[in-house]
Amino acid sequence: MSTDKVRSTKLKFKGEKTKKKRRRDSDDEEGVSSSRRRKDQDDQDPETWVVPEDPVEIRGPTFIIHPSDPFPISVNFDSTRNRIILHSLEKDQAEEGAEPPNILERTPTDVSQVWVITRVSGSPTINLRTGTGDGKFLSCDKHGLVSADREARGPQEEWTPVIMPDGMIAFMNVYEKYLSVDEVAGGSLQLRGDSEEVGFGERFWVKIQSKYKREAHEEKKKKEGMSDVGKADEAGTNRIYQAWGAGRSIVSQSDKKELKRARKEGRLAEALLDRRAKLKSDRFC
């Protein structure tokens, strides 16, 4: 029997710590696997560049790549000329004589390749601000012209990230058109924002830093916890305000609409107390 070790094909990002695998008796323990995955994410270097899996994770410093042929390109901002540049990644991060890295292994090598994404809490839209210069916002007008020369944000500076099944992302503007890489006269490439559908030109790989992905998860957990506290436990409330004797909970179909209306108006407890008094009165009459 061969004793050669099998080499792992798992992708590793720059800065990611190597972890030793622990053998388990059962691989179908979903809860254990998910908790282990969360622990691995928590142990990651906060500066590690990772791929977002949910639109709410897209925030902070961001690296945007398009898988153009023959070489992928990154969306850059030239602060000297005050314009957007689509930069070829042909030579970036590739040692002389070596094959270039996989597109998902690439990380920014210059500050001009980094955009800073912000969002209003609870909003599905984001703003993309340049990481160099005075911090201009990426915008698109009604004709599909894309620029980054505005210092204030408005509707034309809002983008909605749409995650595709393969993990790539499309950016939809306020006019419900998509950001795309378009070839113009002379074979050069430029960004436009007037595509009706998502095709190859409208799909981008986006990478964010691990700490912002973790931050998004923590905010989501906090929000879910707050929503659970705010939910009305009707059965429990009935037992508190309506039950007596052996703890019987009495619910009348005729009062269902009234209770529903009271809950919408924020006076459910008061309505249940009134109902309890009425039921007791009817019982002892």
pLDDT tens by residue, 123-156: 899 999 998 878 899 999 999 999 999 999 999 9
pLDDT band at 5 (very low <50, low <70, confident <90, very high): very low
pLDDT band at 221 (very low <50, low <70, confident <90, very high): confident
Total domains, the chain: 2
pLDDT band at 265 (very low <50, low <70, confident <90, very high): confident
The domain in which residue 71 lies consists of: 49-220
Q: In this structure, is residue 12 part of a structural domain?
A: no
Do 201 and 271 fall within a single domain? Answer: no
Do 238 and 98 fall within a single domain? Answer: no
- Predicted TM-score of the model (pTM): 0.64
Do 175 and 56 fall within a single domain? Answer: yes
Do 83 and 181 fall within a single domain? Answer: yes
Could you give the angle at which helices 256-264 and 268-284 cross, rounded to 10 degrees?
150
More confident: 270 or 251: 270
Q: In this structure, is residue 29 part of a structural domain?
A: no
CATH of residue 60: 2.80.10.50
The enclosing H or E element of 222 equals: helix 210-230
Q: Where are the strands (E) in 166-241, listed by range?
A: 169-172, 178-183, 189-195, 205-209
Do 211 and 77 fall within a single domain? Answer: yes
Do 73 and 129 fall within a single domain? Answer: yes
pLDDT band at 285 (very low <50, low <70, confident <90, very high): low
Do 184 and 253 fall within a single domain? Answer: no
Residues contacting 122, CB < 8 A, separation 6+: none
Q: Are 268 and 237 in contact (CB under 8 A)?
A: yes
Q: In this structure, is residue 22 part of a structural domain?
A: no
